[in-house]
Structure 1
Amino acid sequence: RAAERELRAAEAAGLPSEVERVVRFYANVLNSRKRFGGSFEVALAPDTNINRATRSDTLGTVIGDFTLDENAKAKSGVGLGLRGQTYFRQPMGANADMLLRASGNADVYVASRFNDLSGSLRIGPEFTSGKDRLVLSAGPGWRWFGQKLYTFTLGGNASWQHPLTPRSQVRIEGAVSRVDNRINDLQDAWNYTLSSTYDHAFSGKLGAGVQFYGFRESASDPGYSTTTGGLGAYAYREVGRATLVATAGYARLEADRRLALYPRRRMEDRLSASLAATLRAVRVGAFSPMARVKWERNASSIEIYDYRRLSAEFGITSAF
């Protein structure tokens, strides 16, 4: 179970943050036929850049360089990370179930203006045919920055899982959603995601996988419309009663047009990597300690989007 939890996170490595949450959310129950289940994680999270902001003192514009406010620049801090998700499965027949799922994420800091919270609800049918599985679902999602609602999302998702051999499988997922940005109407958008993941177990204790994905954000203002393509890879290893998972990812983002304020069109290359360990040899009830280290580098043509980040999480995790 520890390996499954970490692999769900690994499979989402490199995706835009809003897509990453959806991928984790849907992947959590694909390999289970339990009626009820879920997972929970709480961790202290030191971070060199809690707001994923630039360290530059200025922002280049078409009318000259602006001096950035301190709140617009990178801030370090220690937060509390909370992750939880649960599902309920109602059988509808020999090869069909109805799934209800809920998930929540929170990164909370002493300076509440940096708090990042999100939640999602999904409902839809799950069909099985032989060893294939198809899941369809739809529902709302919310995200808050600080104490304010940032986006409201309503969308749907389809996921198909197919075993290729006894040790390998492929998953294809697609999603479409309408995003209502409560801060800036020009960023209201239709989002489209398509991903393909290949998983292979070399043995009972060693496995790896690779994912390719595309993400399209079609916003009201073409300057905020972006297209992203990327790939991610993961590997896991069981060492005694510990699970180690390593991930790496790359993504390329390009905006449709230049925003009027900036001298260049937004173009970015994002690199990410992580290493996680879950220690099942040390347990407190149903909880096991975990540690995770993550690194990100986003190189952008626009200073305000250019950042570096190193973060860690030390806490406990449990699945039921």
Structure 2
Amino acid sequence: MLAGKARDRGDFVTAQAAYRALTEDRDLEVRTEARFRLGLMLADDLKRYGDAALEFRRILDDKPGAARVRLELARMQAMLGNMGAARKELRAAQAAGLPSAVEQLVRFYSRALNARKPLGGSIEVAMAPDSNINRATRSDTLGTVIGAFTLDDDARAKSGVGLDLQGQGYLRVGIEPGADLLVRASTDATLYREPGFNDISVAVQAGPQYTWGGNQLAFSAGPSRRWYGGSLFSTAVGGGISWQRSVGKRGQVRLDGNVAHVRNRRNALQTADDFTLSANVDRAFTARSGGGIQVFGFREAARDRGYSLAMGGSSAYLFRELGRTTIVGTVAYSHLEADARLFLYPRRRVEDRYSASIAATLRALHLGRFAPLVRFKWERNRSSIEIYDYRRFVAEFGVTSAF
């Protein structure tokens, strides 16, 4: 074949042109074979792992049971540094059922996940119409022990259209076989025309990560900052430990523990020590579907007992690939109770929060490594304190890294 001969002699431009021409063939098998060979060339000869991942993903959109292709996609995810996505693809491959020879390849890839990209990251950008940008009450008044206060416009629910930006980058330095030093930086920003509601967070964490067998153990620590309305809202420093292990051929369990000291720059009485524990279980049901559940507990020990609180909750998600679209649905519930009543309010703060979301990533419309994203979120927080009682609906339209 012209493409294969061109690749053998190192003429990758001609080989790529020939393979791409064959991907337009009417015969699905011809298209599939051309994409697979193109993906291998992009990965093994040109080291263009992101482009190779796109080709393998396109094959799986048409043939989700193609186990070898899914394993190659897992390999690309690992080379790109997307370890969670790589393990997800391995679980999906095993859920589809594998012959014994391929099972051995899966075990090889599982052990080879240590071969990771040293530098990488991801980004998501979306326009977000929001019915309640400040998560505030719709009530005109606030009941207190000394009477009802009239709330001004900024203290009540406001709608708006924001620009939602999320990004993260990492640097991985090998220490020894099975051990790395991992440095991560992340940011989350929601920006509005009215700068008084802008919410920006930045965090940096670093620590060692160890991998052996089906286990991964990671330690991290570092600072974070949050700005609200254009001024510094809080600073924090903390650390955590995370343990992750494969469960059978299709599942994964993860345990996380974190502690942080958060200094509130606007109200010293809210300065607190935060403690979080969570457990996650993820499982592939088939090659194109899966899900997971999480349970968590959170404790905030503030200087004032009225701001100290305990919270617990759970969430669940399901995903399904429909052609070249991935649908993800999530539901969550949490319960919160404060230690004591704040002097101003007639009751102690007690809340029940419900939320749900559904998102679709439209890979058929991808541009390079990015694909359109549509996501809808709903929140309802029932609180014994009026100012914390709110409803919220958000629609997000943007782009996200496809892999």
TM-score higher than 0.5: yes
Partner of 1:40: 123
Which amino acid is 2:243 matched to?
W
Match runs of 1:205-216 below 5 Å: 205-216=288-299
C-alpha displacement of 1:88:
1.2
Partner of 2:155: 72
User: Relative to 1, partners in 2 of residues 1:40 and 1:282: Cα closer, same or farther, differing over 3 Å?
Assistant: same
Match runs of 1:215-230 below 5 Å: 215-230=298-313
Which amino acid is 1:288 matched to?
A
Q: Distance in 1 between matches of 2:83 and 2:274?
A: 23
CA contact (8 A) 2:363 2:402 kept: no
C-alpha displacement of 1:317:
1.0
Partner of 1:13: none
Partner of 1:283: 366
Which amino acid is 2:170 matched to?
Y
Which amino acid is 2:186 matched to?
S
Match runs of 1:1-320 below 5 Å: 33-318=116-401
32-41 or 241-250, which deviates more: 32-41
Q: Distance in 1 between matches of 2:221 and 2:274?
A: 14
C-alpha displacement of 1:285:
2.4
C-alpha displacement of 1:319:
5.6
282-291 or 115-124, which deviates more: 282-291
C-alpha displacement of 1:102:
0.5
| Gap runs ≥5 in structure 1 | 3-27
Q: Let me know the Cα RMSD of the aligned residues.
A: 1.5
CA contact (8 A) 1:119 1:143 kept: yes
Query: If you compute each CA radius of gyration, which structure gives the higher value, 1 or 2?
Result: 2
Q: Distance in 2 between matches of 1:187 and 1:229?
A: 20
CA contact (8 A) 1:40 1:319 kept: no
3-state SS of 1:45 partner? strand
CA contact (8 A) 1:79 1:110 kept: yes
Dislocated runs of 4+, deviation >3 Å? 28-33
3-state SS of 1:271 partner? strand
Which amino acid is 1:279 matched to?
L
Which amino acid is 1:261 matched to?
L
Which amino acid is 1:132 matched to?
N
Which amino acid is 2:388 matched to?
Y
Higher RCO, Cα 8 Å, sep 6+:
1
3-state SS of 1:223 partner? coil
Which amino acid is 2:270 matched to?
Q
Q: Distance in 1 between matches of 2:242 and 2:281?
A: 13
Q: Distance in 2 between matches of 1:37 and 1:166?
A: 28
Q: Distance in 1 between matches of 2:117 and 2:309?
A: 39
Q: Distance in 2 between matches of 1:29 and 1:87?
A: 12
Greater helix share, structure number: 2
Q: How many pairs does the alignment contain?
A: 296
CA contact (8 A) 1:245 1:276 kept: yes
CA contact (8 A) 1:37 1:319 kept: no
| Gap runs ≥5 in structure 2 | 1-52, 55-81, 88-112
Q: Distance in 1 between matches of 2:343 and 2:165?
A: 38
3-state SS of 1:281 partner? helix
CA contact (8 A) 2:124 2:398 kept: yes
C-alpha displacement of 1:172:
0.2
C-alpha displacement of 1:274:
0.2
Q: Distance in 1 between matches of 2:334 and 2:132?
A: 20
User: Relative to 1, partners in 2 of residues 1:243 and 1:103: Cα closer, same or farther, differing over 3 Å?
Assistant: same
3-state SS of 2:154 partner? helix
Q: Distance in 1 between matches of 2:126 and 2:192?
A: 12
1:71-106: CA deviation from partner (whole Å, max 9, x where unpaired): 100000001011100111111111100000000011
